[in-house]
Structure formats: structure tokens, C-alpha cells
A = this chain, B = another copy of it.
Amino acid sequence: MFQSSKSQPGSFWTVIPAGGSGTRLWPLSRPTRPKFLLPLTGERSLLQQTVDRLQPLAPAERTLVVCGPAHAAAIARQLPGLPEENILVEPSPKGSAPAIGLAAVLIARHDPEAVMGSFAADHDVTDLTAFEHAVRAAIVCARNEWLCTIGLNPARPETGYGYIERTEEVVASDENGTSFRTARFVEKPNLQTATDYVESGRFLWNASMFVWKVTTFLDEMSQLMPDLYAGLQTIGEAWDSPNRDRIVAQVWSGLAESTIDHGIMEHAPKVAVVPAEMGWSDVGDWHGLGELIEHDSVGNSVKGDLVQIESRNCVVWSETGRLVALIGQEDTVVVDTPDALLVIDRSRAQDVKRIVDELKRMKRSEVR
């Protein structure tokens, strides 16, 4: 199936789960136009940038994108160098464990010695060298049969992320970085807890970056998630047969929703983390996106045509080419799209999800 016949056994493969719509970047992001397809932090989309920064580690023929049926065509066009069979279409969203597990099963059938790394399609990294070093350090750790993650040194007591607590036990170390055995994975904390985490020096942001040998991962899955393991094996066996579509649809619909964190990482015995600093962001909301794009001399982050008087630290994003005029605005977010206009304070960036929920309840077209 995959065109990687030239690769040595045990090579590194990149897996990019491309899911989620990026609700908090509404009205720019929509289910039909998800965050990973959008050029938010440069000329290229977040997905394209993700592939770009993994290029030094895995060529296109060892790069897999896992996505839903609605986005396969757009992904194929955004990534013309990616072989068609490397776009794995899951029939419906079932969470990260089935998506990443599917890729692992298919890679393992091709090369049981392979190491894979999974990286979200819609995050931003500014220090590409640091990113590459961290992945290389994680690969060394993974070759010793560890499930390895990359954790980010927390820049602030962020309550929007999960955290990974590490121990002092060094699992592997080289010039690229050091991996430590983890103590535990924890979900989004409250502010006090997050502050304690940051001050302790032992906690890292969980950025959903996973690196492991496919066999290590599948062995753990067979123990911890035997139903998922069995389903994915059935799918793997049918993948290159004429019955692929029928069997995938049938098996997939019976899979429970599950995540890698809950299903595997919180329970597996050999889990390690490489602490890293790489200018990472999940580009999670308008406040965060404002920090990533260029600021003018008074802190306004602008994509579009802004004329302002006495306005500072605003985020203005216009897709319509219209003039946006601000007077006396501070920390205001203005997002202008052809069918919807959003005005919020940067401090309310997380609440965009609430208005999207409200609009969904109203069955409004602007959230499709």
C-alpha cells in the first residue's frame, strides 16, 4: 500500500491526526473550514506547516494524515506531494485513540520495526530546530520500548491545557535532549492548581505529541484497549482487500470513542517525556492567535485593512477586504467574515465556544 519501499526498516513515520474544527476561532474556522486548513500564522495552512516542519524527519511517503471524509479532498489539494493512500479517512470521529491507532496498525503491517510520531495538524511551532531536536530525542527513547511524549515547559499557568508531571528518572539522553519517566498525566487544572504546577518545575504542557515504536504502542493497546485493538486489526487485514470500505465502515461504527491520554498514557507502565521549548502554541483562540501574528507599534495584531485612533492591543482579522475602523478600543477582537462578524474582548476569547454552541442550538448556517 504505502510507497515507502525505499525506506530502511525501523524508519521514522509521521502521523498527523487532522480533526476538530477549532470552535474558538469562529467565525473564521467552521466545521466545513477547520482550523488546520486555514493559513493563520503565515502563507501556508497550519496543516501544511505541520508537514513542513516534519519534512526533515520523515519524507512524504512516510507521512500519514488521518482525517474525516469531508476534508480528504481539501487535504489532498493542500498537500500535493502526499501520496493519496497516505490520507487515511476515518468514517466518523471517534477520538484520538482510534485515529492514531489506525495509522499505527497500517504502519506496523508495512514495517513492524517502524517508529511513529503523532503531531496535531493545527498547532504552531516557531523554533523548528528545537522541535526537530525534541523529536529526535523522543525517537531515541522510543527505540527502547518507551511510549514517549514531548512536553512543553509552561510559559504561564494556562488553564486551557492538560499537564504532564515528570519524575527525575532519566530514561534516555543525548545531544538532542533528555527523556524522563512521567509521574502522571493530568487534565486541565484550575488557576491555583496551574500556578502550583508551574512553580513546581515538574509539570509540562501536554501538546499531544507522541513518539513510539508501533509495536510498543500496539502491545500496550492490546492490553489496555483490547476491543479497539481487535477492531483495528480487523480493519488492517481488510485494508488492502476489495472489502476495505465495507469492513472499515462496519467495524469503525462499533468502536467506542476514546483518547490516547485516557486509554493508554495514563495507564501504561513505560511512559516518558522530553521537556522542550520550541515556541509552541495550540493557536487555540483569538487571543492566542493575536499573539502569534505580527503586531504594529501599539500592539494591534492585524490581518486586513485597519484604520484606528487611540486603539491598542486589538486583534483584527478581516476576510472581506473591508475597512475596519476602531476608535479608543483596547484588547478588542474583531473578526470579519462574509456572513458573520464577531466582537469580543481578548479576555473572553475562550467564550467563543459558548456563542458557537448557542448558534448550533439555533441551527444557524453561520456555524456550518
Chain A interface residues toward B at CB < 8 A: 27, 307-309, 318, 322-329, 332, 334, 336, 338-345, 347-348, 351-352, 354-355, 358-359, 362, 364, 366
**Which residue of A322, A323, A348 has the most chain B CB atoms within 10 A of its CB atom?**
A323
A308 contacts which chain B residues (CB < 8 A)? 355
Query: Does A344 contact B323, Cβ atoms closer than 8 Å?
Result: no
Pair A359/B324 contact, Cβ less than 8 Å = no
Q: A332-B343, A336-B341, A343-B332 are in contact. Are A351 and B325 (CB under 8 A)?
A: no
CA distance A325 to B358 in the complex (A): 11
- Residue of chain B at shortest CB distance from A304: B341
Which of B307, B325, B340, B348 contacts A322 (CB under 8 A)? B340
CA distance in complex: A362, B323 (Å): 12
What are the 8 closest A-B residue pairs judged by CB atoms, nearest first? A323-B340, A328-B348, A327-B344, A325-B342, A323-B366, A327-B348, A327-B351, A324-B341
- A343 with B334: CB separation less than 8 A: yes
Q: Is A328 in contact with B345, judged by CB distance below 8 angstroms?
A: yes
From the candidates B307, B329, B341, name the one contacting A325 in the complex (CB within 8 A).
B341
> Quick check: B322 and A355 within 8 Å, CB to CB?
no
The CA-CA distance from A277 to B329 in the complex, in Å, is 36
**Given A307-B359, A307-B362, A359-B307: A327 and B341 within 8 A (CB)?**
no
Q: How far is the CA of A355 from the CA of B329 in the complex (A)?
A: 13
Contact A328 B351 (CB under 8 A): yes
- Given known contacts A325-B27, A340-B325, is B345 in contact with A309 (CB within 8 Å)? no
Q: Are A355 and B309 touching (Cβ within 8 A)?
A: yes
Task: Report the nearest B residue to A366, measured CB to CB.
Answer: B323
A27 to chain B, nearest CB (A): 7
B322 touches A341 (CB 8 A): yes
- Beyond A323-B339, A324-B343, A325-B340, 15 additional contacts (C-beta under 8 Å) are A27-B323, A307-B355, A307-B364, A309-B354, A309-B358, A318-B341, A323-B364, A324-B341, A326-B342, A327-B344, A327-B352, A327-B354, A327-B355, A329-B345, A341-B341
Q: Which residues of B contact A364 (CB under 8 A)?
A: 307, 323
Closest to A351 in B: B327
A343 touching B326 in the complex, CB below 8 Å, given contacts A307-B362, A362-B307: yes
Residues from chain B with Cβ under 8 Å of A328 in the complex: 344-345, 347-348, 351
Would you list 25 pairs from A and B whose C-beta atoms are within 8 A, ordered by A residue? A27-B323, A307-B355, A308-B355, A309-B354, A322-B340, A322-B341, A323-B339, A323-B341, A323-B359, A323-B364, A323-B366, A324-B340, A324-B341, A325-B341, A325-B343, A325-B359, A326-B342, A326-B344, A327-B345, A327-B352, A327-B355, A328-B344, A329-B343, A332-B343, A334-B341
